[in-house]
Amino acid sequence: MRLLLVEDDRLLGQATLSGLRTVYAADWVQSAEDAVEALSTTPYDLLVLDINLPGISGLEWLAQLRKNNNNIACLFLTARDATRHRIEGLNAGADDYLVKPFDLDELLARCAALLRRAHGHAAPVITHKNIVYDPLARTVTMDGGSVGLSGRELALFDYLMNNIGHTISKQQIESHIYDWGNDDIGSNTIEVHISALRKKLGRDLIKTIRNIGYIIEK
């Protein structure tokens, strides 16, 4: 999954980005104007959005997104702890909020919950046949036994498991599991990771749809 962090405080932004990247592909911009440009070129799964931004505020920008029928999941970061400020954020279209200063583990847990709901998963884990995946703990079990995946394999597996029944193109995969900080995408990188997942989780789990992409069938 790929997240966009919109935070103008440099120190907080750098720290938050580092924390998010322990689990997700994540990019960071410092204004709503830069976020508009990022959204125009990249298919993000979640916004982590500061309310107080230079220029257009996070509240104003999110309200514009919702007016334009953009339903991307959004978690507000706010230094405002008053009830009315939280209500303003939710009324502007936020799905959740977190008050600064916040704990990184709580931020990751809230992101995981929002992403889960955005993909139609009510349960905290995703179960498919003999495989159980816990997105927050980042664990995979098959037939009750733990399966070790590399960070990139896990990112690819996460994206496919959150889109069970949907064919995903190679380009979509690259857009969702690599962020601006990565330059290690080779021409056959995705194929290598798919092959590794099949060896660890079974050859029949991930189907190849010729000239289209990959799918975990329901």
Write out the chain's pLDDT in tens, 218 residues: 899 999 999 999 999 999 999 999 999 999 999 999 999 999 999 999 998 899 999 999 999 999 999 999 999 998 876 677 778 888 889 999 998 889 999 999 999 999 988 888 778 899 999 999 998 889 999 999 999 999 899 999 999 999 999 999 999 999 999 888 766 666 788 999 999 999 999 999 999 999 899 999 98
CA–CA separation, 148 and 186 (whole Å): 23
Total-model pTM:
0.86
Return the pLDDT at 185. 66
In a 3-state reduction of DSSP, which class is residue 76?
strand
Return the pLDDT at 168. 95
Query: Could you tell me the CA-to-CA distances from 159 to 11, 62, 76, 104, 131 in Å, in that order?
Result: 30, 25, 23, 22, 15
CA–CA separation, 114 and 117 (whole Å): 5
149-158 in b/e burial notation, b at 16+ Cβ within 10 A? beebbbbbbb
Return the pLDDT at 183. 60
CA–CA separation, 73 and 13 (whole Å): 19
